[in-house]
Every structure is written in C-alpha cells, then in structure tokens.
Structure 1
Amino acid sequence: MRVDSAPWAAPAVRQGVFPEWARYARVADGTFDEDADPVRDMKPVINALKAQNVSVIELDTILSNWLTQADFDFHVKQVGRFTEQAHAAGIRVVMYYPSLELISVGGEKGRSFYKDDKGKDWVQLSLDGQPNVFYGSLVVWVDPGDESCWLSPNSPWRDYYLTRVKALAGSGLDAIWPDVPIYFDGKASWCDASPWAAAAFKADTGLPLPKKADFGDTTFRRFVEWRHRNLLQWQLDIAAAGKSANKDLVTFVETVSMDYQYATSIGLDGAYLRQAEGVSHAWEVDILGNYDGMRHATASDWTCLISMYKYARAASGAKPAWAFSYGWKADDASLVMAELLAAGCNPYEVKSPFKNATTDARMRTRMYGFVAAHQQRLYDAVPAAEVGVYHSTASRDYVSPSVGTGMYVNAKKPSGVKEWWSEGTPEDSCATMPWLGEFRGTVKALVYGHVPFDTVPSQGVTAADLARFKVLMLPNLQAVSDAEAEVLRGWVAAGGTAVITGPAPTALTELGAARDEFALADVLGFRKRDPLPATRQNRFGAGTCHYVKDLPGRAFLSATGQADPGPLLAPVLAAAPPAVTYSGDRRVHLELSRLGDDTVVQLVNFTCFDDKPAAFAVKPAACSVTVAVPEGKRVTAAAVSSPDAASPAPQPVTWTTSGATATVALTVAQYSLLTVTMA
C-alpha cells in the first residue's frame, strides 16, 4: 500500500489555482542519456524515485548546453518519452532549463556560443563594459575547459529561449523550471549594461545607464530597482510562453536570492513574483558548507536558515513554495528538511553541493513518506500566527549597502571544513549589517520566544496581506513608498500594533532618496525635525506604534549565552498573547496552524547547535506545549507524528487540563507534528 493511501492519512483537497500535484510535491532529480531507451533506461530511473516516495521529477539533462536545433528537437522527443513513462508511474515531470546561462562544453579552447555564435552580441555587460562570460572552475557547475555565457534578457536571446520553451511545453511536460534568471556577479558585477539593456532602461525610465555602481547616485538606485522589474518581466514572459503551448503547464523559477543582500547584487527579487498567477518559485536555500551542509552551524546560523525558509514561503504568496533541502549526511539532511516543512515549503531533497543525488536514499524515503502521509496538515492548514515580520525590499537595497551577502552569521570557516559560504571576512556576516542584522535578529527573537510569526514581503503589500495580524514588526524600516506607507498607516489606525526600530524610521523613499518628512510621522508621533527619542509609544487611531531608536534585533542576533530578547518581545506579547505556549529549551522552533477542529503545532529541535560550531549530533529535547481551549470547547484527542519514529502514523498522547488550557508533554528528536483536536 502506498503510504499516502493509509487509512490514517489525510484525504487530498483541491484549492487554489495551482494543481494539487504541485501543492503536495515531493521533488527529486532525474536524468537520462541521449541514447536512452524509454523502457530499458528511463523506466528504472523513474521506478527508483517512485520507491523513494518522490511525486515530481525535476528532469535535468543537456539543456544547459549549447545545442544545435537538430539536437534540441531530438531531445524534446526524448523528454516526451520520459514524461510518458513517468506519467504511467503516477509521477509528474518538471523540466530544468537555464534561462540566461548557456554552457559550451569544451568551449574554452574549442568552439563556443560566445566566440562562434551570437554570444558576443547577446551577452550581459557590466557597467564598466566587461562581458559576463568565463571559463573553467569559477563555479561548481561549470567544468574545467567549459564556457559559461550569461545572456541579456533584453537581447534577441529572449525570442530564442522562449521559442524553445514553447517546444518543450508541447512535449507533455507538467511544468518548466527556468534556472536562476539573474545578472550573475561571479565574473562581472552590476550587469546588464549591454545596448539591449540600455535601450530598455531608457524606455522605462527616460534615463541613460549609470556610469558606475554608486548608491549615492539617483540613477544608479533607479537601475537597482529596474533590474528587479526587468527580471520579473522575463519570468512572466517565460511562464506565458509555456502556457501558450500547454494551457495546463505551470512554471517554477529557481530563485537563489533569499531574504539577504544577494537579491540586490544579482537583481532577482523573489517577492516581485508573489502575486503572479501560474508561476511560482523553486527556492535555492544555500547552506553553510558545500561539503558539510549545516553540520557546523551555530544556533544563530540556524535561525538564519529559518528566516530564509520563512521568507521563501511568504514570497511565493498563496502558491506552492518548492525549496531545496540540502544535506551532507542523513542526520543533518533530515533536520534541514524538518525546518523546510515547518515553514510550509515543498522539499527538493539533494546532497550538497549539486542537485542530482540524494543525501541518503533511506532518509529521503522515510521523510518523503511522512510528507505524503501528512500533506494536508502540512499544506492545507491555515497559519495561525498573529505576528508579522516586515521584509522591506527597498530598505534591503538602500540602507547601508554592503559588499557581503549576509547569508549567515558565522563568516569564519570552522576547522576541518573544506569549503564555507564566506571567504572569512567579517563584512559577510549579517550581524554586521544594519538592516539585515535587525531583520534576522527580530526573527531570532521570535523563534527563541516561541512566538508564531510569518514574514510579510513589502513588495505589493495590501491591506488584505496585513488583516490577520495583531502585531507587525518593522525592523529598521527606512525606505518605503507612499502607497506602502498608506497601507501600514491604515492597518495601525484600524487597531494594529506596530513595532518600528532603527535610527531613521521611514525617512527614505522607495528609491532610497531622503524624504523631507518621515512617511509615517503621524503614526510614530514625532517628526523629522524633532529630537529622535530613544523609545516612544504613540496611539494612532485604534492602534499603537512602539518605536525604538536602537537596533535591538541586531544586538540579539550577535548575543550569546542566555541573552534575553524580552525587551523586543514585550509589546508583541502584550498585544498578541500566543494561543500556544512552550516550556523547554528555547532552541526549539515552534510553528502553529489550524485545520478544521485541529490545532497543528510543529516543533523543530535545533538544540544540537550553540554559540560556537561543534560536532553535529542529534539531541532529543523534552518539552511541553500548552494550548488555549476556547470557551465552549474541550480537547477530544491529541496525537504526535514524526518522521523520526518507526512509522509516520499519528501516535495518541495524553494531555492534562488546567482551567482553559490543555498541556501535552513530549520529546522531540528532530521534528514532531502535534495535533490537538477540539470539539
């Protein structure tokens, strides 16, 4: 019997515009050779993945490479044959196809797209005129001797690529996976200054391209924002091209830029796609070490991983948020996937640093079996968080721009680790960054305080996006548009509690220019000309604004030992007391949602991490969870499910009652899903 057909498994429920298979996806990589026979070669690959409880195959073949039209046409037929075999096995297929990079195998010394075809005309150029093409081992995915050429989305490459997308869409595929549509900055920075991009920028803004990267220059700041929108349009055009050939096709764009600074430097901001229909994300959530995974994380590093997965879930809007689940060994891989699941993302489990192999087949089978059995609880339950953390795209772009990405806290490579996410410069750490450090530290405070929260992307924010929140954290919010400020003002006036931190609250426009007056001066209760208070509480309409001049989040991000996040959380807990409370080691991440009569609590145990990197080991944590029982209701059942157990089936547990609360005691190995049923 299939694990998701067990009598205790939740039934499938259709909702939203994305198909059910995409909302419940469990993704893994598959491939075939060009001379592959469908039965002899393709079918065994598909059957092996099906046995691992995989429901979607990301097909990664030769489409990264420079192909003749004849080679491409033959390959499309092979893709169709593979898809037929997969569909016969009940598995969906999504086709990986790099959207702006083209690799010429052996192109360093031999023929290449850049040297011998259209590459020189279509290539991205940096602001100082350098072509975005390189050879050899600059990155792990380009083999020595090969050429990597990055193309301008405004060049005729656009029609070339979209024509091929249409051909692929007609092969019977279920989805297209365009790989990272970015201005790659490994070789040349601040692309694209090609004639194609210059013309598009001029048509959109009326301005010539900036001469150099200078955040003090108005035109350069316009260029930074324009690149986000230009790449958004490219993604929308890819999705539309696929739909034109196959009305049922959906698109998942591989997106490597998360909540940190990388989105500024490469142009791709995933939140711009949040409200687009029929196209979502496959988030590349990178880990600390290519050949170590998250094994040498600190506890603060782990909360950065939480922040990235939470951002991914939020930036995909109401659509499925597929995400990479990288691992190095089975035990660290399962913990990373636990965090991914708690955030509400769909797993693509893979061994770092590539994406073609599982970390451990038995681990994947076990974890994916759990996901299949509990897909309704994981993906249909309604988030119950009443606290939001505002992620400001403009503040990230324009508040104290940094040369580092800020992916994690610890920039120093631990002893014995082969590669690390950072070269070791302190400037790489998010703890050094005024905006990102404050944002990440706010997330850490909420995680440590066991306050359920959701990330709120600023891009396209509406009153409806904020309606379910009682509290909105606005960490170091400086750059806002007038429309954005009006939405925030209306939410506070209607009864919301805002917590704004930082030395220049709403002092910049959405393009980073200084405002004559704070955009939310009336909400703050003071003006730009007034002395800046250390703290201020101001009633505005039916709501309240709490202001703190310092950056308490960034301070807590760097804090060690038993540092108290209380001062940052005090107004949060006063305005939105959690419906679920937790007792135990604070290094357990709690997520809360509701499904019908069930209160669903997810617990991820990261007590194996501390202030300094150490050897990885699973450390079970004893804890208790107390749930508020509404008047007129009573608890009728409680059960715990875990992929750490011998079976993913829910195991009944006892509870105690006290007044209007019910408490469950449990031990979490790595991940537990607690369901409390009330009637």
Structure 2
Amino acid sequence: MRTLLFLTLLLSLTLTACGRPAPVTTTPGVENPAPVPARVTETPFAASPAPGTVVPPSSGTTPLAPSSTDWTRTARIVTPYDYPEVDFTDWEWEDLIDQAVADGANVILDWTCASDGWECLSGPPLEAALEEIRQRADYVHTRHPGVRYIMYVGPLEAVTEGVDKDGDGQVDPGQESRSLAMQHPDWAQVGIDGRPAVFYGSMPEMPFWVCETCEDVWLSPAHPEFRRLTLEKAARLASTGLDGLWFDVPFLTFDFGEGWQSQWADLSPAARALFHQQTGLTLPTPPFEPDWEDAIWQEYVAWRYRLIREFVDEYARTVHAVNPEFRLIMESSVQLGPLSTQYAASPLDLPMVSDLTAHELGGLERPYQYYAYLDFLSALLAWRHVDMSFGQPSWLLSYVEAGHPDTLDLARLHAAIVLGAGFNYYTSGDEGMSRVVDPEFRRALFSWIAAHEETLYAPTLRPYANVAVLYSQATVDYRDRGDWEISDRTDAFYGTLSLLLESHIPFEVLSERQMERLDEFDALILPQVEALSDAQAESLRAWVQRGGTLIVTGEEATLYDERGNPRPDYALADLFGVHFGEADWQVYAQGVGAGRVVYTPLNDEQEYLWAAAPWDESGEESDPEYAEEMRRAFLEEIWAEAGVAPLLETDAPPSVVFLPYIREDGLSLRALNFTGLTYGNAVPAPQEGLTVRLTLPTGARVASVRALDFLGDAFYNIGYTQESDSLSFSLDLDRAAWIEIRLAPLSE
C-alpha cells in the first residue's frame, strides 16, 4: 500500500509538470483608548444574502482553490511591536517595520482600530482605519518588495476600553453610546442559561485582554445585520492592499471567566431562528439543560459547527471576490478533542473554508518535564496531518517565556520541534503575541529558515507511513461531549500518538471523513473510537476483507452510532470475534478475509498517557516507569498480534523521534532528540551512532543521503547501504536533524 501512495504522488507530479497591544491610532469620532492586548485563547449560515460585494456562501464542504502564490508556505511571521529594547515613543511605525524586515521577517502582522473595535465596524471610523491601512500596506510593499502585510481581525469578539471605569460591571453613565451591549443587544451570542455573552473587566477570572475598564461582547454570526456589516467591512479590508487577514477566535462561546461555564452558545433568537430555518427543528427557549439522548440537541451540536463553518466560508468568499490572491488565515487554539465540541471550531472544518490555519499552542513556555515535549509534538502532528490533507501550510503561534537564563536553550529546542513538525514559526516571549523571545536567536533562526525553505516546506511533503490512527470527531462530540472530566477517548487518541512516536512507528492521522484513503495503509488503529456510522463500519469491514489490518481498543468501541446513540452490540462485532458484554480483558485476534483484526477492551494507550501526565509541568505526577510498562504492553500484547512491520526500525532510544515524509524526489526524515529532558533542563543529551533502517517504496533506488543539523551551516553526506527495498545508515544527533534521501528517477 505504501507503493500505491508513492506512485500516486509521482503520477500527480508528472501530470502537473506537463501579542503586543495594537498601536494607538487616532480615529475621528471615537474616544481614543489605550490599546487592548491581542487575545490568546485556550477556549473558540446561510440566511439572507448580504448586499453589495458579499458573495453567497457555498455548501462549506469543498476546499477553496489554492492561490497561484505560495508565500504562506514560507512565511516568517513577526509583529513589529515585540522589541523589548525599543522605546515606542521614540520610534516611528516605519522604523519598526524596517527593523522587522532587517531581522528576517517576510510577513508582518499588524493591528489597527479595524482589528477588533466595533466602533470601526462602519462609518467615518472605519474609513479612517482603512486609509491608515492603505498607507501602511503601500509603505511595506514599496519599501520592502516581496514582504507581505496582513492585519489581525477578531470579527466575533469586540473589546471596548473605558466603558466601565468604576469597575462595577456595568456601563458608566455617559458611555452608553460606546457600549456595544447597549447599542446592539440583539447582536450578542446567548448561552444555554439565557444570558448574553457580555463581560466586563471587573468580573472574576477575565482573560488578560479584557482590561479592567473593558466591555467584551461575543457576537452572533447568525444575526443578519451584524453579518452584513461584518462582510461589507471584510470586502473593504480586502481592497486596501493588504495581503491577508489573520482571523482570530472563530468561536461560539462555551467557557469565559468564572461566571460563564458550559454555555453552549449560540442560543440567541437569531441563531435559534436560523437553526429552525435550516433543520426544521425547534430548540427550547433558554434556560434549559443539554439532553444528549434528544435528537434536537444532537442536531444542535452538529449545527453549531455549520454555523461557524458557513460564516467563515462566506467571509472567505467575500474577500476572495475582491482579490483572488488575498489569504484568509484562521487563528485557532482548538485541538482535535473536546475544545472542538465546546467552541464549534473543528480543525477538520477550518481548512475547508479558509486558506490556512494559524494554530495556537502553549505548553512549552518553560523547560517542562519530558512527556510535555512528546505531547506538544503529538498535538502539532495531528494538526499538520489534517492541513496536509487539504494541501495547506500550517502556521503556529506559540510561546517561550523570555528573560530567563535558560530561555535560549528552550527556544532552540522549541523551534526545532516546531520546524520539525512542518510549521511556520511565530513565537512570542509572553502571552500577548507581543515580545520576541530572543532577538539574536530569531535573526539567526530566520536566516537559517530562509536558506532551507525547500527542505522545511516542500509543498509535496506527505507523511510516509503504512499505519494510520483514526480520529473520530463523532466520538469526541457525542461521547466526550465537550467535557474534560470524561474525555477518555481523546486521551486514548493522543496517548496513541505519543506512544507510537516513542516506539518509532511512523503514522498518519486520518479522520472518519477520509475512509476513501484506507487502501493507502497496511494498518489502522482505532483508539477508543466509540461512535461510528453504519456506512463507516462497512467501509472498515470491506477494507479488512481486502487485506487491511485493523487494531481497535476500548470496552465500548463502535458501540454507538454517529450521534452517540447506543447499539445493542459492537458495529464490528463480526470482526472483533466477540460480542459486547462477553469480552474479557484480553486481546482478540483473528484473520478476516485477506486481512486481520486485533481487538481488546484494554486501554493501554490511555493508561500510558495518564501515567505520563504531560499536563503536569514539573512531572511530579508523572510515573515514567508505568508509562513505559504500558507502552511495552501495547507493543507486545496488541501491536505484535497485528503482524505489521513499520516502515522504520532503529536502535535509538524512545526519546529520539523520527518523522518520515515522502516528496516528489524521495524521502525526508526529521529526527528530534528529547533524551535527558527533565523539568528545568531543555538541553537534550547528544546521541551518537544511531542506526536507522528505512523501508523504501517498492523498486526505489537511492541516489544520495545527506543530513542538515538544526541551525547547521550546510548539508553533509551520510554513508548508507541499500539492500533491495531497505536503506540503512547511522546518525549522530544533537537537537534535531533533517535527512534528505534522494531517489533516482524511475526511468534510470
């Protein structure tokens, strides 16, 4: 099946060949407040068509056609406000841009009043902001040809400073005209208890970007007037000379502050009316409680994704109608897991309706325990594999705390992981997207990235693996239900990824939407996948009959349909060789047709993650010995029964991770070294003489093997041996290395 993947890629190529606070701006008619910090979040339609330049939405199921330009693939992103040594009262905006470009940036992310202030939604304030953007875009493009200029926007969240100066959680007298909540109360999202998503900085546990005097309102994409004005503004922004928009928080609110928890927005009158229009169903009037056995609630959970997806789709088509080369970049901190359900912003959906995703991920702000690095990498790879399947690049907004004696050590390792996973680098030294981690390091890093763009970001790179891991959004939605307290299935998914990384078993993440790709793989792992449709079950059954090897874990695997409704028996009981209620805590393995099935109710991969406890920064809660015991148990009791040989073998310790990719002219292997990492130490122990054996595509002949060390000056050749379809070589490894394996053309 790996041969099929290789030949398909060659054929396609042959055919083709023939935060910091925003700067203060003066806007007529608007009180000029101090800038509000850019947000960093761990949280996230088709009604009447809008007039003018707004384009009608599509079905929201087809990826947008790629632009003829690919600047997003090689982006080195900087905001011009992140220099700690700069006194901003002495520097002009132009000076900051010049400095950013001199430091190696080729994409400038900026803020203006038009970014997230509702007072700049229309009228003279918007006109003034648009003129400012035109002048800035002209400066960047004229002074620095080839550098791209993009603007931050947060259409679904509006922050207004100075509305509540006395801190009583209410709009001050005389500020009513500046309060979005008072001027347009029907625009706000509404939670399941009937309260609008309106917040003030004096409320408990507000995020840092909601300042003490701020009003914060989350807006309903279902409201016709708000949507019309937002899309008209988007069209105007696309005509200013900007190269793109960084669209933040495409979310429906769920948790916000101490007093807004599990709210399942949007249940505003506009959203409930649109839900009825599109589904024919009627939601209860808030307040009410979720009923997971109710078909209307089940439909609402799915429809929330549709509401976000179709709004973003219409937004994208609006800006592309003005400028087909314009890029819509969606920022989202939502991983594959319960946050998708909570905020209705699935990483599986955003690539369908935008040009790329700028993912946001913390977790390595300081030198944390060993398993934090594996977990960080697992999250990145899950995102990257999804984006790759759409042919899109992936950007990453991440954080390394500046100002510590060990900051530079961590920054080097963090950057190696980010680039090794295939992401474009945008890292902040504080929580506000606004501080460079280390200026000299970033200059050196950007210079190195620019010199090796083809190695880091080759557009034809795809995971090289004969094993896939299935991510089930239906299981997350209807079994984990947006609740971290019962998110065992998500833990099993990420535990599987980290376990496979340590075990040197290359994999690719697939979703249940990609069943047509099963024939590309020899083995498929379903880690506690509980919700599966009859059609998906039949696809798996047919694939096994054709020769696939299916590995399934979990006591209730496939026991529910795609909406979480229980079945009397496993959907794949015939493949498992045991019925629900009869399975013992053992491994069941049998041949089925030309394939093989391994099933167990055991949850070794989940136990592994719980023992690793990557969320515990210090590692005090981590039990490495038990985590290793569970990893070995999975390999010896479950994986061994599958009888599938991975495409890579090595004598490297589990703390060395290999990521193989296939490209048009061969293979690319990324190696990352986590050996010796502990809480407080981000310098891995160098490894010498690691032996690697890689299975090549059938019939391939190696022309050369060379390696590039992270931040190394140049590639160097590596000695190798090839026996039939097997390539062997040895490697010394510091932090990270990129190994390029060039294959001779098939015609030679």
Query: TM-score, structure 2 length as denominator?
Result: 0.77
Q: Does 1:146 align with 2:214?
A: yes
Q: Does 1:295 align with 2:367?
A: yes
- Residue 169 of structure 1 is matched in structure 2 by 238
Q: Does 1:642 align with 2:725?
A: no
- Tell me the amino acid that sits aligned with residue 190 of structure 1: W
- Tell me the amino acid that sits aligned with residue 311 of structure 1: A
CA contact (8 A) 1:601 1:675 kept: yes
Q: Does 1:664 align with 2:729?
A: yes
Cα distance in structure 1, aligned partners of 2:490 and 2:697: 38
- Residue 160 of structure 1 is matched in structure 2 by 229
Cα distance in structure 2, aligned partners of 1:106 and 1:462: 52
Cα distance in structure 2, aligned partners of 1:674 and 1:259: 29
CA contact (8 A) 1:31 1:60 kept: no
CA contact (8 A) 1:326 1:336 kept: no
Cα distance in structure 1, aligned partners of 2:607 and 2:426: 34
CA contact (8 A) 1:447 1:590 kept: yes
- Tell me the amino acid that sits aligned with residue 268 of structure 1: A
CA contact (8 A) 2:706 2:717 kept: yes
Cα distance in structure 2, aligned partners of 1:307 and 1:660: 29
Q: Does 1:603 align with 2:671?
A: yes
Q: Secondary structure at the match of 1:284?
A: strand
Aligned 1:98-497 pairs, distance under 5 A: 98-109=154-165, 110=172, 111=175, 114=179, 118-136=183-201, 138-155=206-223, 156-184=225-253, 185-187=255-257, 188=260, 189-210=263-284, 211-276=288-353, 278-287=354-363, 293-296=365-368, 298-316=369-387, 317-328=390-401, 329-380=407-458, 381-401=461-481, 403-404=483-484, 427=485, 433-458=487-512, 460-464=513-517, 466-497=518-549
**Percent of aligned pairs with the same residue?**
27
Cα distance in structure 2, aligned partners of 1:595 and 1:262: 33
Measured at CA, do residues 223 and 114 of structure 1 come closer, stay the same or move farther in structure 2, by a change above 3 Å? farther
Cα distance in structure 2, aligned partners of 1:60 and 1:332: 29
- Residue 420 of structure 1 is matched in structure 2 by none
- Residue 564 of structure 2 is matched in structure 1 by 512
- Residue 412 of structure 1 is matched in structure 2 by none
Query: In the alignment, which of 92, 97, 100 is matched to residue 148 of structure 2?
Result: 92
Measured at CA, do residues 467 and 70 of structure 1 come closer, stay the same or move farther in structure 2, by a change above 3 Å? farther
CA contact (8 A) 1:517 1:527 kept: yes
- Deviation of 1:31 after TM superposition, in Å, equals 6.1
CA contact (8 A) 1:282 1:322 kept: yes
CA contact (8 A) 1:446 1:569 kept: no
Q: Secondary structure at the match of 1:474?
A: strand
CA contact (8 A) 2:476 2:482 kept: no
Cα distance in structure 1, aligned partners of 2:179 and 2:662: 54
Cα distance in structure 1, aligned partners of 2:700 and 2:322: 52
Name the Cα RMSD after superposition. Answer: 2.9
- Tell me the amino acid that sits aligned with residue 101 of structure 2: K
Which structure 2 segments of 5+ residues have no match? 1-15, 18-64, 83-90, 166-171, 402-406, 612-623
Larger radius of gyration: 2
Cα distance in structure 2, aligned partners of 1:624 and 1:533: 37
- Deviation of 1:140 after TM superposition, in Å, equals 1.7
Measured at CA, do residues 344 and 531 of structure 1 come closer, stay the same or move farther in structure 2, by a change above 3 Å? same
Cα distance in structure 2, aligned partners of 1:609 and 1:517: 45
Q: After alignment, is 635-644 or 140-149 more displaced? A: 635-644
Measured at CA, do residues 529 and 441 of structure 1 come closer, stay the same or move farther in structure 2, by a change above 3 Å? closer
- Tell me the amino acid that sits aligned with residue 228 of structure 1: Y
Which structure 1 segments of 5+ residues have no match? 1-13, 33-39, 405-426
Cα distance in structure 1, aligned partners of 2:575 and 2:232: 51
CA contact (8 A) 1:256 1:284 kept: yes
CA contact (8 A) 2:234 2:315 kept: yes
- Residue 29 of structure 1 is matched in structure 2 by 79
Cα distance in structure 2, aligned partners of 1:500 and 1:106: 55
Cα distance in structure 2, aligned partners of 1:341 and 1:490: 38
Cα distance in structure 1, aligned partners of 2:126 and 2:698: 65
* Number of equivalences: 623
- Deviation of 1:600 after TM superposition, in Å, equals 1.5
- Tell me the amino acid that sits aligned with residue 298 of structure 2: R
Query: In the alignment, which of 618, 621, 627 is matched to residue 687 of structure 2?
Result: 621
Deviation string 1:538-589 (CA, Å, 9 cap, x unpaired) is 3333222211111110112234224352443456575542333222231122
Cα distance in structure 1, aligned partners of 2:719 and 2:530: 49
- Deviation of 1:500 after TM superposition, in Å, equals 0.8
CA contact (8 A) 1:324 1:350 kept: yes
- Residue 44 of structure 1 is matched in structure 2 by 95
Measured at CA, do residues 548 and 116 of structure 1 come closer, stay the same or move farther in structure 2, by a change above 3 Å? closer
Measured at CA, do residues 534 and 579 of structure 1 come closer, stay the same or move farther in structure 2, by a change above 3 Å? closer
